[in-house]
Structure 1
Amino acid sequence: MEEIEVIFYIEGLGNDKKVLESAIRQTAEGLKNEKGVKVKYVRVEDVLENEDEDILKYSGVIEAQIAGDLASLVRLTLKYSPAIVEVLRPGKLEVDSKELMKILGEISLFMGKLMQQFGGLAVYPKLDDVPVPRIGYEREEIEELIVEDRNILYRFVIEVFGENEEGIKETMAKALSLEGCRINKLVVQGQTEDGKFKGLLAAELLSTFETMFQLTGKYAPVAISIIEPEVVDITANELQNTLTDLGGFVNELVTRPVKRQIMEKKNTEFKLNP
């Protein structure tokens, strides 16, 4: 697989300067010792104090230039959750769909474990007024979307829960449309237990590379397979957006306990000082 060169910008936050400095040093050392990639440099910025913050009042940044294949860089993104990923080269790369499916499987497994611990990621506004999207496309339309719009055709299976089968199908069709997908097929199967429906939703979707990765990160599908094309081309801009999104998803989940503490503290202050 082609070598990709990136810069990770990893942000650390904390309420104790010495503890944060130690954590940042350990993270930097971990990056320097990563196997399977070339670490060009790791630069640690000074920890700064934000006087306007009471809980996470200290922040620090690590900048690291790394080169490796796509699979390795995705693993590092999931491990270190950089706030920003900048892709330096190449301007465009081609990845075999089978390799891409392996990477998507790793993302799904990793994110699924985090969601079991911290909760889900897929949140939408009320969908009542959102029109039900079209489901089903002609072969000529699919080919045009793949060739002209650089869409990917893939199958996507997730676990679903709700009041009833039809309600889940309609809600998920709207949600997937909002995510930027065109839906070729959508099937829900399962059973109702104690008044609640539980089952699987299988969808055949058309979307961009970025959307496909975002869906994998948000939903941690139990299965995902790319149908077409056999080789997926990815631009540097698409890749850096995708890796930055993945880092953001991980960060959103692992920082939830701290954010919860901040909100509880603010609510307590509000009650004590009306």
Structure 2
Amino acid sequence: MRRTTAVLTGAALTALAFPLLVAAPPANALTADPVAALKGRFKAGHGVRIVERAKLVGDGGNPRTVYGRVKGVLEFGPSGVVASDLTSSFELPAEEGTPSEPFAPSRTVTVKGVSYTQGGVYAGSLPEGKKWLRSRDDVLSTTNPAQRLFNPLEPATLRAALAHAGPGRPGGTLDGTRTVVRSGSFTLGELYRISPSARAVLGAKPSAKSAPLKVSWRLYLGADQLPRRAVSSYVQSVRGLTSVDVTYLNDTQYGGWGLRSTLKAPPAAEVADFDELRIGDADPGNVSLNNLFTG
């Protein structure tokens, strides 16, 4: 009886000790829901920092590359991003020389659906004493077509991406947390249907020719299941119109989740509306990034 008791006691001790020898899974393991984690951060007065690098590569007889950079803060409300303060800049091909006014650095603050832009396209046309141009359709700042086509801060986009993603693998450390990287692809048509960001960047529904284009993406999720980096790319051929294939590349990093943010519109005395601009015969807003590849 003593021997049996000793054996049982040893087995019990082994059972008790075993959990101490095996690392317990983190509270937010891969089985956790990244969409729920994202929605949990949609709180008024809080936000996230972004640093975005976008690149357009024209692969033709005269290859050209245009770099775009955006950095700043996105502020959340109960349903997602409701405000932002973003600074944009461009680096044009060397042969283009110094960037013209439309491609000059600009800062855009968007609050309650209204954007206020400083610098950039119409900086030289503002009335005296005015520093910001107000817009309700976000057309006043020059944007890179590769910007945020794949946006993991949209719950529907994130859910659709992860539903068809490949298995996770280590993605290194970003924003102080170890990440797991998932990857997959959409067609341009699918992304346009799912994502408000894609619709804003593309401007119009993809044609029957471009809708099947594959948009590849990689998403890096932290231990808390929040996005830390998103990379996307696709190639669009405009051969026949020109001799160029254009590759769109975007790399956006997210950090400082939960930071305090209370963005406000600029002082009213410093704001001008479009009908107050002093615009000559040449409208700088007509300058397009695509002209750099088709000229």
Q: Work out whether the TM-score is over 0.5.
A: no
- Which of the pair has more CA radius of gyration? 2
Normalized per residue, the structure richer in strand is 2
Q: Give the helix-richer structure, 1 or 2.
A: 1
Q: TM-score, normalised by structure 1?
A: 0.24
